[in-house]
Amino acid sequence: METIKGIAVSPGIAIGTAVRLAESDGHIAFRTVDPDEVPAEIRRVDEAFAASARELKDLRTRTAARAGEAAAAIFDFHMGLLADRTLVQPIHDDIARERVAAEYAVSENFRKLADRLRATGSEMFVQKAADVVDLENRVLARLTGGAIGKISRASGPVVVIGHELTPSQAADLHRAHAVAFATDAGGLTGHTSILARALGMPAVVGCMHVSTDVEDGDQVIVDGDAGVVIVRPAPAVVERYRAAAAQGEQRRRALRNVAKEPSVTLDGVTIELLGNIEFPEEIEAVFTNGGSGTGLYRTEFLHLTSPTTPTEEDHFDAYRRALELSRGAPLVIRTLDLGADKFTQDHLADPERNPFLGLRSIRYCLRHPQLFKTQLRAILRASALGPIKVMFPLVSSVMELRQTHMIINDLREELEDDGIPFDPALATGIMVETPAAALMTRVFANEVSFVSIGTNDLIQYTLAVDRGNEQVASLYSAANPAVLTLVKNVVRAARHAGIGASLCGEVAGNPLFTPLLIGFGLRSLSMSPVQIPVVKRVVRAIDIERCETLARKVGSFDSDRQVLSYLRDELRRIDPEALVSAGAD
């Protein structure tokens, strides 16, 4: 049994047999065939090429009708390539001489071509390399019968495992009755995630190695609530998940009703419930779950899902789209939080020994000013179109903030000179994710208009516990009194200074903590959209006085165990149903 952690993008639990998507991701295994199978293998290649050509012709005609001739022309390169003897001949030769299987010969030769194109260094050829990979996937899908074929032949529920998935693949898989999917890539596009939610397919993305760790036919559990994929689970685990799936479905039905209600306590105080998103398209999910805007837009996903460095226009398009989808609701954009776990160290010439304490987040951006300026200029331009706020991750010194403000001021002048509109009053804020920022909130408050507490990181830096290290996972606790003291003090300092305070770590979406955070004085919480309904349920069942009493009591405890057990008892009294949705902490 193996548990793989990823990003939960579509809720629900599904259990099924794995079908791996044929992908051009380096996973076509080397396989040879018997000499008498060679002619049949060559025929398979020709048939796959011919079928792909027919498919492309059809796609071209339909695209021309829908989106015009210019859009349809992108398929001409694919069709031309398929017809080119210099591509198919070496594939035939490899099968005949080396007796390799058709899939392997196809994959090898397409890869060589893509590498040659990339090696030219020319922007145009690098883009063509992506077309080659795309075409390779199409031919491979034909050769293997594709996932669709395998799914239709499967007797029970099927979970699709792949490197990445396009929205149209997700739709096709759903039509073929796949029950869930899990992918290596971190989200590919928001559209695929949105589609998965719309189709009600549990999904976990950003699993890094799931496509190599899972074999066709493995039993797999996709937990779209926790963002976890369990491969070859023990029978007892399957039983537990079956029960959880049934209960979860029942709960989700009941919670859907509360999404439409206002987020107001029994004594009439509004608690702002916002969503954390990685892609603009997720904003729809914030609203359908009953959120009133976006409290954390993790823009680094723009970087992580794009093969090339996003341009200012790429940033601007994403922010404009986010504003359109927000329809006037708040939108807090966090600048690039690259580094540490969000940036593979592998390809760095000199990997950091301690990446979580290294060049990440705002430090990374300040070290790469062009990258930072590109993003900040796009944010400023977008600020002319709607209500945006911008915040900076992992600030630990006021000098970082001042440097950033200086860059923004320079960009403002630049835009003014160029006659490009922006909001001169664009609000800036910091994420409080380091003990340094938490202890000095009072000082930071002189220079920003809001703070947002990022408990995910604040816990790890306060307790010196790597948030991704299983060995010390039991020490990683939001209920640790040191963490809670910092949170309480940040809220108090922000209130004294008269600036806004929100909390956007995972704990914001845990109903166990809702009364406590409100008792600390927080009136704004930002969380994974699917958590909004359950938190709203708790908000509607409590009053401020009760929360403040509870917070005072928690302040007298000296261990996380005591805190948790008290919070559980309280939530059991407030709303036993919500307790079921509460995590460990």
Which span (185-193, 426-434, 525-533, 567-575) binds Mg ion, by CB under 5 A?
426-434
Would you call 504 a catalytic residue per the annotation? yes
Tell me the residue type at 200: G
Count of beta carbons in the 10 Å neighbourhood of residue 153: 10
Calpha distance 172→186 (Å, rounded): 21
The token pair that represents 424 in the structure block? 């001169």
Residues 6+ apart with CB under 8 A from 268: none
Calpha distance 425→508 (Å, rounded): 28
Would you call 547 a catalytic residue per the annotation? no
List, as own/partner pairs, every contact residues 350-359 make where C-beta atoms lie below 8 angstroms and the sequence separation is at least 24, other chains included: 356/460, 356/466
Q: Pick from 190, 454, 500, 519 the residue near ligand PEP by CB under 6 A.
A: 454
From the candidates 27, 191, 368, 405, which is the catalytic residue? 191
Residues 190 to 249 in contact with Mg ion, rule: CB under 5 A = none
The token pair that represents 496 in the structure block? 């004294």
Q: Pick from 278, 400, 433, 585 the residue near ligand PEP by CB under 6 A.
A: 433
Q: How far is the CB of 482 from ligand PEP (least distance, A)?
A: 16
The token pair that represents 221 in the structure block? 């559990």
| 23 contributes a contact to Mg ion by CB under 5 A | no
With contacts defined by CB under 6 A, how many residues of the chain interact with ligand PEP? 10
Query: In angstroms, what CA-CA distances link 1 with 4, 8, 225, 234, 244?
Result: 10, 20, 19, 6, 19
Q: For residue 377, which phi and psi values (nearest 5 degrees)?
A: -65, -40
Q: Pick from 455, 477, 480, 528 the residue near ligand PEP by CB under 6 A.
A: 455
| 184 contributes a contact to Mg ion by CB under 5 A | no
Residues 283 to 322 in contact with ligand PEP, rule: CB under 6 A = 296, 298
Residues 6+ apart with CB under 8 A from 394: 337, 360, 361, 362, 363, 431, 433, 434, 457
Which span (4-12, 207-215, 368-376, 454-462) binds ligand PEP, by CB under 6 A?
454-462
Calpha distance 391→398 (Å, rounded): 14
Residue among 258 and 525 whose Cβ is closer to Mg ion: 525
Q: Are strands 13-20 and 158-162 parallel, antiparallel or unpaired?
A: parallel
Q: Pick from 41, 164, 282, 337 the residue near ligand PEP by CB under 6 A.
A: 337
Calpha distance 407→61 (Å, rounded): 49
Calpha distance 409→363 (Å, rounded): 19
Q: How far is the CB of 361 from Mg ion (least distance, A)?
A: 7
Q: Pick from 505, 509, 519, 521 the residue near ligand PEP by CB under 6 A.
A: 505
Residue among 100 and 274 whose Cβ is closer to ligand PEP: 274
Which span (79-87, 225-233, 448-456, 491-499) binds ligand PEP, by CB under 6 A?
448-456
| 281 contributes a contact to Mg ion by CB under 5 A | no
Which span (13-21, 256-264, 456-464, 547-555) binds Mg ion, by CB under 5 A?
456-464
Residue among 224 and 454 whose Cβ is closer to ligand PEP: 454
Q: How far is the CB of 251 from Mg ion (least distance, A)?
A: 29
Q: How far is the CB of 508 from ligand PEP (least distance, A)?
A: 9
Residue among 82 and 507 whose Cβ is closer to ligand PEP: 507
By a kind-dependent CB cut-off of 5 to 8 A, residue 505 interacts, out of ligand PEP, Mg ion, none, with: ligand PEP
CB 181 within 8 A of CB 222: yes
Which span (28-36, 368-376, 430-438, 532-540) binds Mg ion, by CB under 5 A?
430-438
Query: In angstroms, what CA-CA distances link 387 with 58, 156, 328, 381, 452?
Result: 44, 49, 7, 12, 17
Calpha distance 7→463 (Å, rounded): 24
Q: Pick from 283, 451, 504, 574 the residue near ligand PEP by CB under 6 A.
A: 504
| 457 contributes a contact to Mg ion by CB under 5 A | yes
| 6 contributes a contact to ligand PEP by CB under 6 A | no
Q: Are strands 500-503 and 388-392 parallel, antiparallel or unpaired?
A: unpaired
Residues that bind ligand PEP (CB under 6 A): 296, 298, 337, 433, 454-457, 504-505
Catalytic residue annotation? 191, 504
